[in-house]
A and B are shown apart, each in its own frame.
Chain A
Amino acid sequence: MTDIVQSLARIVGDAYVSDRPEEAYFYARDPGLMPPHKPDCVVVPKSVEEIQEIVRLAAREKIPVVPMGAGLALTGLVIPLRGGIVIDMKRMNRILKVDEMARHAIVEGGTSQGYLKAYLEKHHPRLRHSIPDSPATATIAANVMIHGQGRLTQQYGFNSDMICGLEVVLASGEVCRIGSGALSPDWFSKGPPLPDLTGLFLGWFGATGIITKIGVKLYPRKKMRDVEIFITDRDSLVPGMVYELTHTEMVEDINIFAQPKPMIFKDNHHITLFYTGDTEEEMEFKRKTIWHSLDRFIRSKDGGFMGVPPAMKSTLLDMPQRSVSRFADVKKGGGFEYSGPIIMVDKYPACARKILELAEKYDLGYSGMARIIGRSHAMMYGFAFTFNRADPDMMERTRQALHEVSVFALEAGGVFWKGTADEQKMAMQKMDPATRGLMGMIKKQMDPHGIMNPGNWEVTEV
Chain B
Amino acid sequence: MKYADIVHRCFRCGYCKFTGDYTDFNCPAYRKFRFETYSPGGRMWLIRGWLNGEIKNSERFQEILFSCATCANCVEHCVFTFSEDLVNIFIAAREELVAEGLIPPQVRDYLKAIHVNGNPYKLPAAERGKWAAETPVEPYRDQEYLFYVGCVGSYDERAVKMARAVGTLLMKAGLSIGILGEKETCDGNEVRAMGESGLFEQLAEQNIRTFHDMGVKKIITLDPHAYNAFKNDYPPLGGEFEVFHYTQILAPVIGGRRILLKECPLTVTYHDPCYLGRHNKEYEAPRSILKAIPGLELTEMERNSENAFCCGGGGGNFFTDILGKGEESPARLRVREALDTGAGVIAVACPQCAKMLEDAVKSEGLEDRLKVMDIAEIVTGCLS
Contact = CB atoms under 8 A, between A and B. Distances in A.
A297 interface: no
Given A22-B64, A25-B46, A334 B22 contact: no
Contacts of B8: 333-334, 388-390
A122 B19 CA distance: 14
Given A21-B55, A118-B23, A322 B35 contact: no
A29 interface: yes
B9 A333 contact: yes
A329 B61 contact: no
Contacts, number: 106
Contact of B46 (A18, A26, A325, A390): A26
6 contacts: A18-B35, A21-B56, A25-B45, A25-B54, A90-B34, A334-B11
Interface residues of A, number: 45
Contacts of B46: 22, 25-26
B120 to A, nearest CB: 27
Nearest to A93: B25
Nearest to A388: B8
B126 interface: no
Contact of A26 (B15, B42, B58): B42
A44 B79 contact: no
A309 to B, nearest CB: 20
Contacts of B82: 329
B36 interface: yes
B80 interface: yes
Nearest to B15: A135
Given A22-B61, A29-B45, A325 B55 contact: no
Contacts of A22: 37, 46, 55, 58, 60-61, 64
A136 B54 contact: no
B18 A27 contact: no
B68 to A, nearest CB: 14
Interface string B86-98: 0000000000000
A423 interface: no
B22 A15 contact: no
Contacts of A21: 55-56, 58, 60
B22 A31 contact: no
Interface in A15-49: 15-16, 18, 20-23, 25-27, 29, 31, 42, 44
Given A90-B34, A136-B18, A31 B9 contact: no
Nearest to B36: A26
Q: State the 7 A-B residue pairs at the shortest beta-carbon distance, nearest first.
A: A114-B22, A137-B14, A334-B9, A328-B11, A135-B13, A325-B13, A389-B8
A326 B22 contact: no
A349 to B, nearest CB: 31
Contacts of B17: 137
Contacts of B23: 115, 118, 122
Given A20-B60, A88-B35, A334-B9, A326 B18 contact: no
Given A18-B35, A44-B34, A91-B34, 10 more contacts: A21-B58, A22-B60, A22-B61, A25-B45, A26-B45, A31-B12, A113-B22, A117-B22, A329-B9, A334-B8
Nearest to A327: B11
Contacts of B11: 31, 325, 328-329, 334-336
A333 B82 CA distance: 11
Interface string A59-87: 00000000000111000000000000000
B283 interface: no
A135 B79 CA distance: 10
A136 B15 contact: yes
B35 A44 contact: yes
Interface string A359-400: 000000000000000000000000000001110000000000
B49 A25 contact: yes
Given A20-B58, A25-B54, A135-B15, A326 B33 contact: no
A389 B24 CA distance: 30
A88 B19 CA distance: 21
A389 B80 CA distance: 15
B22 A112 contact: yes
Contacts of A114: 18, 22
B134 interface: no
A334 B47 CA distance: 15
A328 B22 CA distance: 21
Contacts of A26: 35-37, 42, 45-46
B345 interface: no
A313 interface: no
B10 interface: yes
Contact of A322 (B12, B45, B60, B79): B79
Nearest to B17: A137
B18 A334 contact: no
A103 to B, nearest CB: 21
Contacts of B36: 23, 26-27, 71, 88
A25 B50 CA distance: 10
Contacts of A18: 35
B236 to A, nearest CB: 26
B21 interface: yes
A92 to B, nearest CB: 11
A331 to B, nearest CB: 9
A31 to B, nearest CB: 5
A136 B22 contact: yes
A97 interface: no
A91 B23 CA distance: 15
Contacts of A332: 9
